[in-house]
Structure 1
Amino acid sequence: MGEHKIKKTLKQIFSHPIPTNIEWKNIENLLEHKGFKIENTKKNHMKIKSNSGQELVLIVHGHEINSKDEIVKLKHFLQENGISEESIL
């Protein structure tokens, strides 16, 4: 995934109002680019693990995350791992 798409995906996650249609593949590529490990734990559940051992489970519907709650969980998880809106620049 190119740097432009990574920045665009980060911008979507941190945007306001919260989007409800971020493509999962773009999020997956962003997370892998940032060093996170992703595991499909069961139908529609993706476990994300940071290098520090923190974990987050997101529910993915089809090919996108379409729940504001899931986007907020992801946003907070990224912030806890040192990734913020400022890291877009």
Structure 2
Amino acid sequence: MASLVLRVLAGTLGAFATGALATTVLSLILARLGVSRADAVTITLMVGPAILALICLAAFHSRDPARLSGWLAAAAAALAITCALLRSSLS
């Protein structure tokens, strides 16, 4: 039962947080590559649900929910650092 709860939390909250950070980083990368900011946001709004769906599928496909939570936390930390670096360089 505990593994099911952990899997559901990772598949919902972890996927949402990691997906939101991934779409933010993608938007900042596109803006850095010369795409207008409005177009970068529009592109990432179209790609964002696919990223979220892939993370959710991986969450429910993994064998060990504790390992999945570690991977999601590491990915979220890496994306947060990348987001901070890209934001500071854009200003």
Q: Which protein has the bigger helix share?
A: 2
TM-score (normalised: structure 2): 0.31
TM-score relative to the length of structure 1: 0.32
Name the structure where strand makes up a greater proportion of residues.
Answer: 1
Q: Considering Cα pairs closer than 8 Å and 6+ residues apart, tell me whether 1 or 2 has the greater RCO.
A: 2
